[in-house]
Structure 1
Amino acid sequence: MTSKSQEERETKNLKDKMEIKELFKAYSETKDKDIRNKLIEKHIYIAEILSKKYANRGIEYDDIYQVACIGLIYAIDRYNIEKGYEFSSFATPTIIGEIKKYFRDKGWTIRVPRRIQELSKKINNAKVLLSQQLQRSPTIEDIANYLNYTEEEILEAMEASKVYTPQSLDVTYDSNSEDKDVNLADLIGEEDEYFSKIENNDFLTRTMEKLNDVEKQILIERYFNKKTQVSIAKDLEISQMTVSRIEKRVLEKLRKEVDKIMM
């Protein structure tokens, strides 16, 4: 029932998923740096998408992207493939949490020397790179050696960066929309619509892999293309009763998958 191009896409997606699954298995066993770098490359798009979502809100995109990459690394290190859920569903809230924490903590309480502010930014970037290279959280000595600073200078900058400016929840930032600004109160703790879409998409993708071609087509036509059972029956040259019976079977499979997630 599916076209050749659809079959090719499904085959490619299946191969990609199997490759990622094997990489995660290998990484969980070896903690090999090269394997983790491959996983980062394959999932960096998640960090990019979520960074763009929070752009133009008073903080430079590059800074948000760096924070998102840290969240991605944390997610890769903590992900347990044996749990059964998709990595994107696990990584998204981790990355969003890091971004929101960065927004919440951004800003200096007192005026500090520019060299301290610049060094603080270098330290944050160094943490990301060293975490990948060392496969652990870098020490003060690691950061000092990497940046060619003394440990005292690193500690000074890190201590200074702990003092932040509290901001009013009424503060607004420019948004991408010409007629609407973003309020800080809406940013902190907002319900993330994109995460729900990723999670729902992962659920449907995983469930549809267990359906045959006819079941997939009926599900798509009924709930995505909004066709009636009579119309689908005509297209498939089967009875409306058969379509109804298959639809009920598909819905039952979906319910069972939901029950597994809720357990």
Structure 2
Amino acid sequence: MSRELRSRGDSYDNIEPLFEKIEALDASDSRRETLRGELIERCLPLAEHIARRFAGRGEIFDDLLQVARLGLVQATDRFDVTRGSSFLSFAVPTIMGEVRRHFRDNTWSVRVPRRVKEIQLTIGPTVEVLAQRLGRLPRAKEIAAELEVDVVEVTHALIAGNAYQSSSIDALAGEDNQNTPLPLLESLGAEEPAFHLVVDFMAVKPLIGELPERERQVLMMRFFESRTQAQIAAYLGVSQMHVSRILSRTLRTLREQALRD
């Protein structure tokens, strides 16, 4: 995960204790609503990251941001901290599902078979359920098993989710700082440069957890603690060449498993 996202760990990765505080309070305790508001506010940047990822597809960014924030509120209210999974692993697919539903419900422009549409409508809620159960984003075959449909149909439905409304690049889509209407071409948003790292990290996280202790320790020290190979070698009492071989073998294994899944 990028340094920028790790620096915000208090907002994302370490937010579960706040859920536990809320859960411990009586339902009538006024502090529950105060803590809930604090929790949502701390996670607002996550909603903005996701909204920006969908910017430039014919929808006004402010609308996407509102939809993403609605998804964040829903994720906050639905998250069950007692299951032991992280809030981030549940919130990301929930918010992204809400934004995708916004496009799906308002902007179909390509003719899609009814069967594919029906499956596509069920994918969002299914991803939320599986993400809560598994503690990570589900794979296509896991979604298919949950829905009891063929994995090919799930794949088609996921692809169909991109059948959004096409818009002219000359259409007015926003205003500049002087309230002058701007064509879409001049107001296209850019994807958050580091956001894809969140999804990548969530995809590889369960694979890291399955590594042998030594390989996982070397990987964590190198990429999460930013230690050099020489420092790792000195800590473990082995040669730097041995550390290099461990890293190469481990990264190759993770890459192959991630691509295969």
More helix by share: 1
Pick the TM interval, shorter chain: 0.3 to 0.5
Rg: which structure is higher? 1
With CA pairs under 8 Å and 6+ residues apart, which has the higher RCO, 1 or 2?
2
Normalised by the size of structure 1, how large is the TM-score?
A: 0.45
